[in-house]
Amino acid sequence: MQRRTRHITRVWLLIFLLFSPILQELNPIPVSISTEPDLDYNYEYEKNGVYTKFSDWVPYKLHKWEPKFLEDYYEMYGLKLHYKENELRRNIFFLKAGLQKRFRHPRNALCRVTNEEEYHKYRLLIFMHMNLQIMRSYMRIASQFDKRHLYFYNLDFAHELKQSFEVADSFYKEAIPYWEASRKYADQASEIDYDLDLGTIETERYEIITGKLDFGQIISDHRERLTKKRETVGAYLAKYPEADKSNLDQIP
């Protein structure tokens, strides 16, 4: 009985294959010859007589990620090989915003923590490191307005140097409070006798408490050298007061 059923099925399949081309000729499938899509080039379509952008019907936040926790902002920190002031200011903005946020749940921390004391030290180390990164960013911006060496021919731009050195000194001053905060958190974290798997952050803590890393002295040295350069520029402008204007204004 099964063999007979299979035989009948094969016969009907053969008949369908033989007569399929003829049936297609009798009832051709309509094909549109229009090259215009249903949607116009502005991704708009008509609904009840009103044009609405197609994008308005797509959820805007479908795949949008928004930072929420302190670690989210910290992970947005980045510095390219060749950076300028905009990249540094961007990092400062995100790090400062992150310092005002709460931490993730301990299970989602940046390293493994097993008890409350470890988690407390983890938070102290992250605060220390983020303040240190803000301080370094301010110092990098200051270095872009400072000059390592002041040669005699640089005094042709004494007016511009006077303004630039003033900006550099203001950024050095901005860096000082963040260094003080970093040192405070490093001291507090050192009171907890646990070593966390945070790589160079633990090394930073050790170097700060031992005095090997002393950005307070480094900033002070930068400002002392800057003061001498500002005195040199001031003496030149006192001797040649006509040079105390924009270099472009001195072009006859």
Evaluate if residue 125 carries a pLDDT over 70: yes
List all residues 6 or more positions away from 230 whose beta carbon is below 8 Å from its beta carbon: 162, 165, 166, 169
The CA distance from 75 to 84, in Å, is: 20
What pLDDT score does 38 carry? Answer: 47
Query: What is the tens place of the pLDDT at every residue in 9-28?
Result: 665 666 655 655 554 554 55
Q: What is the DSSP string of 185-244?
A: HHHHHHTS----S-THHHHHHHHHHTTSS-HHHHHHHHHHHHHHHHHHHHHHHHH-GGGS
How sure is the predictor about 171, in pLDDT bands with cuts at 50, 70 and 90? very high
* Contact by Cβ (8 Å): 128, 201: yes
Percent of residues, the chain, with pLDDT higher than 70: 72
Query: What is the tens place of the pLDDT at every residue in 203-248?
Result: 999 999 999 999 999 999 999 999 999 999 999 999 988 888 876 6
For the residues 166-194, what does the mean pLDDT come to?
Answer: 95
What pLDDT score does 41 carry? Answer: 44
* Contact by Cβ (8 Å): 133, 95: yes
Helix axes of 116-145 and 158-190: crossing angle, nearest 10 degrees: 170
* Contact by Cβ (8 Å): 100, 79: no
The CA distance from 72 to 108, in Å, is: 11
What pLDDT score does 209 carry? Answer: 95
pTM score: 0.71
For the residues 32-39, what does the mean pLDDT come to?
Answer: 45
Domain boundaries, the chain: 116-242
What pLDDT score does 227 carry? Answer: 96
Class of residue 29 by CB neighbours under 10 A (exposed 0-12, middle 13-18, buried 19+): exposed
What pLDDT score does 245 carry? Answer: 83
What pLDDT score does 31 carry? Answer: 45
For the residues 174-187, what does the mean pLDDT come to?
Answer: 97
Query: What is the tens place of the pLDDT at every residue in 43-78?
Result: 444 555 555 555 555 555 555 567 888 988 888 888
What pLDDT score does 19 carry? Answer: 58
Query: First vs last Cα of the chain: how many Å apart?
Result: 112
How many other CB atoms are found less than 10 A from the CB of residue 229?
19
Structure tokens at 173: 């001053």
How sure is the predictor about 189, in pLDDT bands with cuts at 50, 70 and 90? very high
How sure is the predictor about 164, in pLDDT bands with cuts at 50, 70 and 90? very high
What pLDDT score does 246 carry? Answer: 79
Query: Lowest-pLDDT range, 4-18, 70-84, 175-189?
Result: 4-18
What pLDDT score does 55 carry? Answer: 55
